[in-house]
Amino acid sequence: MLRHGRGDPTFRREPDGAVWRGIRTPEGTASLRLVSRPRDGEVLLAAWGAGAQWAVGAVPGMLGADDDPAGFPAQRDPVVARLHALHPHWRVPATGLVMESLVPAVIEQKVTGQEAFAGFRHLVHRFGERAPGPGADLRLWVQPAPADLARIPSGEWLRLPVSPARSGTVARAARLAPALERTLSLPHPEADRRLRSVPGIGVWTSAEVRARAHGDPDAVSFGDYHVVKDIGWALSGELLDDDAVAELLEPFRGHRYRVQRLVELAGVRRPRRGPRMAARTHLPA
């Protein structure tokens, strides 16, 4: 969930399954290495850099330890009950880093995945920095700091390429970064309202952030080109619009994102016919 495309420079997976993340924490940058040992019920971790201590302390939340699935009414729908039985231990993560999720989410607005992931990758390589410690040897990167994002000229954004509407939203959010990070202490509905008060951040972008940074189990990605249609197909066997899917999910209010993620984990996809959407070519390379 925290990787943005296979070429995400802030994320690495080693052949032995170890996961590396380049993180900008409130205390500085960090390289974080995680190794899961499910047979032992353990996750081993190590971190380097000025933000290492913060990153280590954030790992339980990042892995969903703060999520409470009690009250999830999976049995209200036979499909949801079956999907939940396949992944009963999945938990909603809470990274505690709003800008880390917000920047790629804005770049992913209303474009193909290919264009979005390329734009984010180029942004990190051009304006980010190498992760500290052994992460640098793995060519692991850290996203740009908010102050650096706010200073990127419009022409540089176009070369990434990221359109003016999206780059303008990133710049506005970067200038408001401290206030946006403070939404982590708010109830989820209020955090949603505060995020969406920034021009350019709508329902979809707010949900993408809250599902990763805030640990919001109700943050459905309404407005997504694929996600909501896949949910509708999984639960009804029909191609439905956002309003119809919202009605289907209403019995799960408070836990609606759990339904979305269970559908994703099960790999349920609506039938897709015709050619794939091509990447736009009118922006500078």
Hey, which residues does 34 pair with through a beta bridge?
Answer: 19, 45
Which region among 153-162, 243-252, 276-285 has the lowest average model confidence (pLDDT)?
276-285
The candidate with the shortest Cα–Cα distance to 106, out of 184, 22, 196, 23, is 196
Helix (H) or strand (E) holding 248: helix 242-249
Domain encompassing residue 32 = 1-285
Helix (H) or strand (E) holding 270: none
* Distance from the Cα of residue 37 to its chain's centroid: 24
CATH number of the domain where residue 146 is located: 1.10.340.30
Task: Measure the CA–CA gap between 270 and 274, rounded to whole angstroms.
Answer: 13
CA 203 to each of CA 46, 104, 196, 207: distance values in angstroms, whole numbers, following the listed order: 36, 15, 7, 6
Digit-coded pLDDT (tens) for 29-81: 999 999 999 999 999 999 999 999 999 999 999 999 999 999 999 999 999 99
- Give the number of domains in the chain: 1
Its pTM stands at 0.93
For the cut 80, the answer to whether the pLDDT of residue 278 exceeds it is no
Task: Measure the CA–CA gap between 237 and 94, rounded to whole angstroms.
Answer: 32
Cβ partners under 8 Å of residue 80, min gap 6: 74, 235, 252, 259, 262
